[in-house]
Chains A and B, each alone.
Chain A
Amino acid sequence: MSASTTPGPGTGPGGFDLDLRSALRGSGQTVGVFVALVALITFGVLRYENFGGAYNIASFLNYNAMFILISIGMCLVIITGGIDLSVGSVAAFSSVCAAYLSPYGIQVALPGGVLAGVAFGAINAFVILVLRVPPFIATLATLLGAKGGSLVLSGAETIAVDWGSNFTKLGMEKAFDTVPWSILICAVVAVGAWVMLERTSLGRTLLAIGGGEEASVLMGLRVGRAKAFAYLFSGGCAGLAGVFLASGFGAGQPLEGVGWELSAIASVVVGGTLLTGGLGSITATVLGALLLGLVFNILNFENGLGTISLSAYWQQVIRGGFLFLVILLQMHVARRRLPRRSPLREDTDP
């Protein structure tokens, strides 16, 4: 990345923005994702009877709340030019922790699960910042470690939650009889992350690091602290997703979370965040996660109609194909607008 300009504050609505690059592509992409989302929803409502029903909407959002959460965490990490591959198995680990803590009620299990996630985030931050291991390798190792940890902790079995306590309320009941708790909490996290990224100096620092780490250090920004925050936050989001997992499905699931990191990365990429860092938007990431979830929701409905019959194996193929499509689209958009830079372009390490 060029170190001469500090990238603008990203692409969120209302973000005051002088950076041509982010202004052009970032917001363009957000609009594009939004249009695609609306188009898919319209298609679904017209084609399927129960698509727009309250049940489908609630269960769709409830299920995807987990993916939105880890995508938000992933987005912050990717903005700094890093990556967090450990989110899936960290979520599985914290779902086991939360299930064990569930007899004490939500007030213990929720913070417990989140803290478990934050602890893995701290390990990531330590290995990346102190041992200076590249994020890709460090979080790959944490992926293995958390997976092994959750299998050891649970004896490789699903851990049933305590149905007597209020723990399952979180994933299965509605707040004030209107919105499921998980969606409400997810929305709060999303708004919090947006405010942090767009309106605080910490957010600016994160964006600056991704734009040019060396320049950020020379400018006197607290680079280490901000990066550590990104990994801790991502770990916390994964932990929260794990709590939702345990609460929504009634069990801590040590084998869950495989491939979640890919969904999260795909959501972030769909949202137009540069994988090389320096640019990114929480809004677009949330929209990207919703879009990805919606594709599968529609496929499920289509399966239900009986017009196509896709085995579970097709899901992976489609997921990969979708990622491929998004990358091609991003390339196309980027090439047309800015001939010399493409969003996923390989970072030439100094």
Chain B
Amino acid sequence: MSAVAPGAADGRRSRGGLAWRSRLARHGTLIALVALLLVNVLFTPNFLHLQTLFVNISQVATIAIVAVGMTLVIATGGIDLSVGAVMALAGALAPPIFGSDFAVAHPALGLVAAIGLPLLVAMACGAFNGVMISVLRVQPIIATLILFISGRGIAQVLTNGNLQTFSNPAFSYLGTGRVFGLPFQGWLALGIAAAAFWVVTRTIHGRHLLAVGGNERAAELSGVPVRRVKIGVYMVCAFLSGIAGLVVVAINSASDAARNGQLMELDAIAAAVVGGALLQGGRAPVFGALLGAVIIQLVKYTLLANGIEDEVALIAKAAIIVAAVALQQGRRE
């Protein structure tokens, strides 16, 4: 796709410009983070409050969890548009399960089922994506488009489009609990990122993942189980989306299939890209995705806290995505 353009364009660009661009790209994420924090400290009222930290952590966690999954998928050269829909589906399934008679009779088992079953369904969605992509060889955009369209619809059909409210302290711990004074889901996101980092850097699965993204044909020829890796990575991404969906439901003590995970695919892709993931695959900067999620969240928060409308925040997000990818193109050369 972009094999032609670099040569043609680079000849004209000066060396100085290139170096500047690549330097900015390499440290851009950190520079952006520092700049955002500075702006907030200077201009946003009450930014240096513990409450602000809690709000941001609890909101960034879901983006970060999904972004880690998205980073792994992007590392294989794919993309997963269905994450938001899977969130809605998993989130819609949980309340009926722990609200059922069985769960009321056996609270512990009910809780396990309320978390486990939605995650299994989420993984089934991931398996569907993975099989479409690796076995039927459908482009990832199109394959995940199917669930992107219908997944949320299924969730709404299941719940009749109703908002399901509930009161279940044990389940709500997912979204409202505190560990060492910080929101539980923040630790969860950190733990997930650490686990993903370990898998990517220290295990054979991580090597396989990067090999598939780097050069699929070469990976296949050298004995990497490409199909299994791809199906696996989409299942992991869907699993993480399912967790994020449950967390959102737990935060709100209500499940709204129409809103849960809406536009999450954009946030997650943006976070992954800002964090340094290459859309062509071959790189899985897991902690970069975490950083990217923090930046996306901070931008949102900055604009909101300073009274700028949500709509303008959309435009800002669009600009960030384009800038991050445009800089990335510079880094690749």
Contact = CB atoms under 8 A, between A and B. Distances in A.
Interface of A: 81, 83, 127, 131-134, 136-138, 140-145, 147-149, 151-152, 156, 213-214, 217, 223, 259, 262, 265, 269, 275-276, 311-321, 323-324, 327-328, 331, 342, 344-350
A134 B279 contact: yes
Nearest to A277: B1
Contacts of A311: 156-157, 160-161
A275 B139 contact: yes
A149 B133 CA distance: 35
A160 B326 CA distance: 39
Contacts of A152: 309, 311-312, 315
Contacts of B161: 311-313
Contacts of A127: 322, 326
A134 B318 contact: no
Given A134-B325, A313-B161, A346-B133, A320 B2 contact: no
A265 B142 contact: yes
A203 B141 CA distance: 26
A275 B318 contact: no
Interface residues of B, number: 56
Task: Say whether chain B's binding surface is mostly helix, strand, loop, or mixed.
Answer: helix
Given A148-B318, A149-B315, A213-B1, A132 B149 contact: no
B136 A316 contact: no
A148 B311 contact: yes
Contacts of A151: 309-311, 314
Interface centre among B132, B141, B142, B152 (most CB of A within 10 A): B142
A159 B58 CA distance: 37
Contacts, number: 165
A315 B153 contact: yes
A144 B316 CA distance: 9
A77 B54 CA distance: 45
Contact of B321 (A137, A312, A346): A137
A214 B3 contact: yes
A223 B1 CA distance: 12
B329 A344 contact: no
B151 A136 contact: no
B9 interface: yes
B4 A213 contact: yes
A321 B150 contact: yes
Contact of A137 (B3, B146, B310, B325): B325
A36 B138 CA distance: 23
Given A141-B319, A213-B3, 16 more contacts: A83-B141, A132-B2, A133-B325, A136-B279, A138-B325, A140-B321, A141-B318, A141-B321, A148-B315, A151-B310, A214-B3, A313-B156, A320-B153, A321-B150, A327-B143, A327-B146
Interface in B188-233: 216-217
Contact of A145 (B146, B280, B318): B318
Interface in B293-333: 309-315, 317-319, 321-322, 325-326, 329
B8 A317 contact: no
21 contacts: A81-B1, A127-B326, A132-B2, A133-B329, A134-B1, A136-B79, A138-B325, A142-B318, A144-B315, A145-B314, A147-B314, A148-B311, A262-B148, A262-B149, A275-B142, A311-B160, A313-B157, A316-B153, A321-B146, A323-B142, A331-B136
A150 to B, nearest CB: 8
A141 B8 contact: no
Nearest to A324: B146
Contact of A259 (B149, B157, B266, B314): B149
A350 B145 CA distance: 24
Given A140-B266, A327-B138, A346-B138, A133 B322 contact: yes
B298 to A, nearest CB: 17
Contact of B138 (A132, A149, A344): A344
A345 B137 contact: yes
Nearest to B136: A331
Nearest to B315: A148
A277 B242 CA distance: 34
A275 B142 CA distance: 9
Contacts of B5: 132
